[in-house]
Structure 1
Amino acid sequence: MFRRTFWFGTGVAAGVWATTKVNRKLKQLTPESLAVTAANKALETGHRLKDAAVGFALDVRDNMVQREAELEEALGIHESPALPEPRRITAIENNSSTVKYIENTTYSYNRNEDH
C-alpha cells in the first residue's frame, strides 16, 4: 500500500510539473509575449550597434588628430592659419533709388523670424 501511495504521489507531482511547464511555454508563445521579446531584442541590438558606432567614431577621431599632428610636424606647420572674417553684404536703399552696399555688416537670412 505504501508503494501505491508513493507512485500515486510521484505521478501527481509529475503531472503538476508538466502542466506548469506547458503553461509557461504557452504564455511565452502568445503574440503579445513574442512582440515584447522581439522588441527587447531589437532594443538590445540597437544599443550594441550604437555603442560600436560611437567607439568607432572615437577611434577615427583619435587617429585623425594623431595623423594631422604627424602631417603638421612633417610639413613644419605648427600653427593653423587664422581664417578671415566672412564678408557679408547688405543692400541699403538711399533716397535716390540706387542701391548702396555696405560690407562687414550682419544680415539675418532666417525667413522664419518676425518682421
Structure 2
Amino acid sequence: MFRRAFWFTTGVATGVWATTKVNRKLKQLTPENLAAAAADRAIEAGHRLKDRAVGFALEVRDHMARREAELGEALGLNAPVEPELPAPRRYAAIENAVKNQDKPKPYVADTTTYTYNRNEDH
C-alpha cells in the first residue's frame, strides 16, 4: 500500500513539474516575449559594440599622439625656439593710397544725361 502511494505521489509531482515547465516555455515563445527578448539582446549588443568602438577610438588616439611625437622628434619640430618679435604690421589701405596717387582714375560714363525707360518703347 505504501509503495502505491509513494509512486502515485511521485507521478503526480513529476506531472505537475513537467506541466509547469512546459507552460513556462510556451509563455516564453509567445510573439510579444520573443520580440521583447530580441529587443533586449539588440540593446545589449549595441552597448557592447559602443564600448568596443570607444575603446578602439581611445587606442587610435593614443597611438596617433605617440606617432606624432615620434615624427616631431625626427623632424626637429619639438626643439626649443627662441622667441622672436612679430613682424611690424603693414597697413595695406594707406600703402595702396600712396601708390595709387599718381595713377589716373578710370573713365566713368555720366549716366545722368541718358536714362532708359522701358515704357517709352511702347
TM-score under structure 2 length normalisation = 0.63
* Cross-structure match for 1:77: 77
Counting helix residues as a fraction of each chain, which structure ranks higher? Answer: 2
CA offset digits 1:19-53 (Å, max 9, x no partner): 00000100110011101110110011101100010
Q: Which amino acid aligns with 2:66?
A: Q
Q: Which amino acid aligns with 2:71?
A: L
Alignment RMSD (CA, Å):
1.0
Deviation of residue 10 (structure 1)?
Answer: 0.6
Aligned residue-pair number: 79
**Distance in 1, Cα, partners of 2:70 & 2:31:** 58
Give structure 2 stretches of 5+ with no counterpart: 80-122
Deviation of residue 16 (structure 1)?
Answer: 0.3
* Identical pairs, percent: 76
Give structure 1 stretches of 5+ with no counterpart: 80-115
Deviation of residue 7 (structure 1)?
Answer: 0.9
Deviation of residue 63 (structure 1)?
Answer: 0.4
Moved over 6 A (4+): none
Counting strand residues as a fraction of each chain, which structure ranks higher? Answer: 1
**Distance in 1, Cα, partners of 2:30 & 2:52:** 33
Between Structure 1 and Structure 2, whose CA radius of gyration is higher? 2
Deviation of residue 78 (structure 1)?
Answer: 1.7
* Cross-structure match for 1:54: 54
* Cross-structure match for 1:35: 35
Q: Which amino acid aligns with 1:12?
A: V
TM-score under structure 1 length normalisation = 0.67
